[in-house]
Amino acid sequence: VRARVMEVTQSPEVEYEDIGGLEDQLQEVRETVEMPMKKPGMFDDVGIEPPSGVLLHGPPGTGKTMLAKAVANQTDATFIKMAGSELVHKFIGEGAKLVRDLFEVAREHEPAVIFIDEIDAIAAKRTESKTSGDAEVQRTMMQLLSEMDGFEERGEIRIIAATNRFDMLDRAILRPGRFDRLIEVPKPDEEGRELIFQIHTRGMNVADDVEFDSLAAEADEASGADVKAICTEAGMFAIRDDRTEIRMEDFQNAWEKVQASSDETEDVSK
């Protein structure tokens, strides 16, 4: 069970330069996660505790997982990821045990960054979720809180959680000593989108007529994940046309396609 729900990666291959925009968020993650791992003595000397847990919140596909992976890479830490939804929906009755395993694996692999995605699945307000009244979900959350209370903050294990549903969270997990540092990760602005286009086309054969600034302006509302999808789709349009060079029109067609498919998924989720 452990192997199927936990993704364990040694120094994941994401660099800070792979993240477009999010300068302030990156800075905060570095101060709150990287610094305590690299220079624990600094916090001692200053006489403050580093934050216990960091919570990244914002819409899907904006780079939350990337931020967590990049900081694990930068600190040569093992990256251990688990999704809240899997903890409670996939292995019913195993949630609390999986949380214990998660911290045990982290201790075996120090230094380690624990990343809990979709934390809302185990930490939703009672009133807002059908499942949160569930005793199993409550036990899973209590186990997480007690693991966090129980360990030495300045150790070699850092915890990052992420959610797209900040409004749904039980405030108990945001208390001091728990996820006491909140970092909002918004959708990129126009400048951010341009940077993300540049990042994802680094290895691509892009024609001279392609203007990332105007693509960034056109693709408003696109998340980082959408921009990545546009780049891949643009390449597909070129291939379909038997070309190896990707033109401006390919990117424009790709944006239309990505937009259409995200409208569809929104309709389905309604």
Considering only the stretches 63-71, 92-100, 244-252, 253-261, report the one whose residues sit in contact with ligand ATP under the rule CB under 6 A.
63-71
Residue 61 is labelled as binding a ligand: yes
235 binds ligand ATP (CB under 6 A): no
Q: Where are the alpha helices (DSSP H) in the chain?
A: 2-5, 23-29, 35-38, 40-46, 64-74, 84-85, 95-108, 135-150, 190-200, 212-218, 224-240, 248-269
Residue nearest to ligand ATP (CB): 224
22 binds ligand ATP (CB under 6 A): yes
For residue 208, give every residue at least 6 positions away whose Cβ sits within 8 Å of its Cβ, in sequence order, or none: none
Distance CA 96, CA 239 (A): 48
For residue 72, give every residue at least 6 positions away whose Cβ sits within 8 Å of its Cβ, in sequence order, or none: 9, 11, 12, 78, 79, 112, 113, 115
72 binds ligand ATP (CB under 6 A): no
Exactly one of 34, 86, 94, 117 binds ligand ATP (CB under 6 A); that residue is 117
Considering only the stretches 15-23, 72-80, 131-139, 176-184, report the one whose residues sit in contact with ligand ATP under the rule CB under 6 A.
15-23
User: In angstroms, what CA-CA distances link 268 with 168, 260, 261?
Assistant: 21, 13, 11
Considering only the stretches 35-43, 58-66, 97-105, 210-218, report the one whose residues sit in contact with ligand ATP under the rule CB under 6 A.
58-66
51 binds ligand ATP (CB under 6 A): no
196 binds ligand ATP (CB under 6 A): yes
> Binding site: what residues are annotated?
61-66, 200
Binding site for ligand ATP (CB under 6 A): 19-22, 60-66, 117, 162, 164, 188, 196, 199, 224-225, 228
